[in-house]
Amino acid sequence: MSLQTDKRPSDRIAVRDERAGAVIATVWTLPARAAQDEAADAALAAVSAEPGLVRTSVFTGVDDPTVLHRSQWVDAATRDAFIARGDARRRSGVDADVPGATPDWQMSASLYRSFVPDGDAAAACLVVVRQPLQRPDAAQQRSWVDTVITALESDTAPAPGLRAASFFASADGKHVLNLAEWADADAHRSALRPVDFGRGVSLGTSPQWRAARSHPGVCPEHEVRRYELFGACEFLR
């Protein structure tokens, strides 16, 4: 099957796309906020068509001087073939063109499940949750996601401003990546509630949410970062 690879700009966060089942996500920390736009520009300038590439999006951190580069692929096979052809992080453009850019992490992951309470509404903020596991375990990745979605579905009403949450299992079995679409950053901040005697925050305090937080397969600590879209390129298919 031949695929079109005509590049076009996009202004959509677009986590959910029936054409895409796999991602590569990379985060850099910049020496200062002023360098975010430079890094984001470099990442977009380096984008080129690749077999199986659906979309590349670049985001800037809302709360810290970071940049997120996310590429969406038809499936894990086409993503992994791209990785095998060269260093995906190097080819993003950031390392070579932005002095002082420090790579935080890179993850290859595949979509497992999504929760979509308000998928047609606009989303201006991408919240990235990187949840580590106690040890690599694909079954525990799926089990934890199932527990979180049960908690989301058990709420009387979805958190105001939550558009969708898409859960990806890392290829190495060590993490779950939640890419959540929110109306804006303030909506996400307002939805968080103190838990565990103020030692953490969560979207809920119900027994279902407690089960998600105390799931035996995951580590108690996790990373949460808020991003705004800087720019994106789609590849027509």
pLDDT given for residue 118 in this prediction: 86
pLDDT given for residue 203 in this prediction: 78
pLDDT digits (tens, 9 = 90+) for 135-152: 999 999 999 999 999 999
**Averaged pLDDT for residues 150-159:** 91
Reply yes or no on whether the pLDDT at 13 is more than 90: no
pLDDT given for residue 3 in this prediction: 41
Handedness of CA 160, 64, 229, 95 (dihedral sign): negative
pLDDT given for residue 10 in this prediction: 60
Phi-psi region of 112 (alpha: psi -120 to 50; beta: other; left: phi over 0): alpha
Question: Rounded to whole angstroms, how far apart are CA atoms 136 and 133?
Answer: 7
pTM of the model: 0.91
In which element (H, E) is residue 142 found?
A: helix 138-154
Enter the CATH code of domain 7-235.
Answer: 3.30.70.100
CB 24 within 8 A of CB 108: yes
Instruction: Name which of 157, 131, 128, 127 is nearest 144 in CA terms.
Output: 131
Of 75-79, 159-163, 202-206, the range with the lowest mean pLDDT is: 202-206
How many other C-beta atoms lie within 10 A of the C-beta of residue 174? 17
Give the CA-trace dihedral at 185, 189, 190, 192, to 10 degrees. 140
CB 225 within 8 A of CB 127: yes
Reply yes or no on whether the pLDDT at 21 is more than 70: yes
pLDDT digits (tens, 9 = 90+) for 104-122: 999 999 999 999 998 788 9
Question: Rounded to whole angstroms, how far apart are CA atoms 200 and 152?
Answer: 18
Question: Rounded to whole angstroms, how far apart are CA atoms 16 and 166?
Answer: 7
pLDDT averaged over every residue in the chain = 88
Domain boundaries, the chain: 7-235
Of 45-54, 63-72, 91-100, the range with the lowest mean pLDDT is: 91-100
pLDDT digits (tens, 9 = 90+) for 176-235: 999 999 999 999 999 887 755 344 567 778 899 999 989 999 998 999 999 999 999 988
Q: CA 84, 88, 92 angle in degrees (round to 5)? A: 155
